[in-house]
Amino acid sequence: MTGHAKEEPGAPSLRSAERKILLSAGVVLGGIAVAGRFRMLPGAAVGAAIAYGNFFLIRKILEKAFSGGGSVRKGFIVQYVLKFFGLVAVVYLVVRSGWFDVLGFLLGLSCLFLGVLLEGLARAASMKTK
């Protein structure tokens, strides 16, 4: 094994979801630019980066947790909780700092939801065609 978790055919692809998060970040940032709300762009970019980083860490934690065959490693819960508290702290600091437009930041954070939603819709459409 090369250190990457093997994905079963038909199983949800976390890497594919990561690509959808990046795609949704591009759409959100492009939409903000087209709307001419350039003041929101830095906040949206930071929010999208945090959303992507959060999902990337979730994937890494899950891959490590389930790499032992049928058993889940015990440190999984601790890592997941620490990641969650880190996310809350980063979001708090970004909002509290006042450096970024909060609405833009929230739009950037929404890329996580939009990416996972796009992945689910893509999966549903591919299963329907089979």
Q: What mean pLDDT do residues 65-92 have?
A: 79
- Give the three-class secondary structure for 19: helix
Does residue 111 surpass a pLDDT of 80? yes
Please, are residues 94 and 105 in contact by the beta-carbon 8 Å criterion? yes
d(CA 7, CA 117): 20
Residue ranges per structural domain of the chain: 14-129
Q: What average pLDDT does the structure give for the chain? A: 82
What radius of gyration, in Å, describes the C-alpha atoms of the chain?
17
The 10s digit of each residue's pLDDT in 36-70 is 889 999 999 999 999 999 988 888 888 777 776 66
Give the per-residue pLDDT at 116: 87
d(CA 57, CA 63): 10
Who has greater pLDDT, 83 or 9?
Answer: 83
Give the per-residue pLDDT at 70: 60
Q: What is the pTM of this model?
A: 0.77
The 10s digit of each residue's pLDDT in 8-39 is 444 456 788 888 898 999 999 999 999 888 99
